[in-house]
Amino acid sequence: MTTKRFLSLFLIALLYTPVFILISFSQVNQRTIGRYEYAQFDGVWYTVVQGKRGDLVDLKHLLVRLKDKADIKTFDFNKIGLPKLKDVRGRFADGFYELEIPEGVDPFEVAYRLQNTGKFEEVLFNVFVEVDKFPNDPYYTDQWNLGKISISNAWDIETGSSNIIVAVIDVGADYNHEDLIANRWSSIGYDFLDNDPDPYPSDGAAHGTAVAGIIGAMTNNGLGVAGIAGGWGGTGGIRIMHLDAGWKDVSGLERIGLSASAQAIDYAAAQGARVINMSFSSQTPYSPWESAINRAVNDYNVVCVASAGNYSSNESRSVRYPAAYDNVIAVGAIVQNDYRKELNDGSGDDRWGSCYGPQLDVVAPGIFIWSTDITGPAGYSYDNYTQHSVALQLPPPMLRVSLHLYFRSIHLLHGIK
């Protein structure tokens, strides 16, 4: 496409926005693999959910699981006319493997050939889901959410425990932030997207830093914000395991990888996390999530908590995954007057609503939630803390209303569902 033609189309889009939106969301070249549907929207592949665009698809990687959950090394790719596909992640989520598709090979042809062998229980493409965003603010007196949940009463009972590890699966975090460093896990965490031990978001993705701050920023230490379970006076807070499973794209959207997040769930459970926090969602119930969560809950007795998800105009309002699974605590959002966050509710951000339905377990304050930001100019602002005049969206789903129960007897949380 020439530059002139591109500019012409851009101007047309500005002048005829409704028409442009209609065209941009028209799907073409639809494919089905097992129970998953894929289609191109403006030349980019996404999943299809109820005829609409879903999650961004990674056509370079397939996620597979053999019916007998055997090692992928036992499968002979040559018998079906395929080159040996490289396993890039190892075994995760109870038998899944992530296979890299070589350059120049049709990814759908590979998927169909594997599926048609009859030996695979699951064959699907890796995807990237968007994080559920929210705003932040640097002063305790402005943290209306803490007063709304009567956090001071909870702090009379418990302010946090260094024996409790909370895994935050997100886009990485500034674990050396002045308000987070004392409460980071001893091994800090891991980057499952790049497969290295450093979960710092080199791409400037700031969502994970804000999530960590709301959960575990140090409390009563004379700095910034007060975390829910940040201890008192710089000691005794929970330990945050920072797990990077995402990235920020060129448009600024922060996304979570399906395979990376599923493997992060495995890791968190095996490394002793008592709670796994997941502030991301999809309308699709991906098998790797379900398998990893089942293993974490059933084998390691981990409490898994996830945001119920956000909906915009013409989208389903049902609770999304992984929050919709029976063994995950689903947390929705309310506004200052205790009503559920809805579209056009006059709360200060009319663009989104909080998903709801029978899977919803609890609600918590969900707009203008202020927290930590990446140190310096790399995050949401040019300060170590951020404040937004327009809300970004849902807060991290920590069970704030049950803080004292959690720290006194963590097993009680399993009775919520």
The DSSP secondary-structure symbol of 59 reads: E
Choose, from 55, 170, 179, 266, the residue flagged as catalytic: 170
Of the residues 61, 177, 207, 388, only one is catalytic, namely 207
Cα–Cα distance, 57 to 114 (Å, whole number): 18
Whether 249 sits among the annotated catalytic residues: the reply is: no
The answer to whether the CB of 228 falls within 8 A of the CB of 215 is: yes
Q: How many whole angstroms separate alpha carbon 393 and alpha carbon 405? A: 27
Contact residues for 156 (Cβ-Cβ < 8 A; gap 6+): none
| Residue 61 a catalytic site member | no
Backbone angles phi, psi at 51, to 5 degrees: 80, 5
Q: Is 207 in the active site?
A: yes
Alpha carbons within 13 A on the beta-carbon side of 151: 24
Burial group, residue 74, by CB count within 10 angstroms (0-12, 13-18, 19+): exposed
Cα–Cα distance between 377 and 324 in angstroms, integer? 36
Q: Which of 186, 251, 312, 389 is catalytic?
A: 389
- CB atoms under 10 Å from CB of 194, counted, come to 14
Q: Where are the beta strands (DSSP E) in 233-361?
A: 239-244, 246-248, 254-257, 275-278, 303-307, 310-311, 328-334, 353-354
CA distance 364 to 291: 27
Catalytic residues: 170, 207, 389
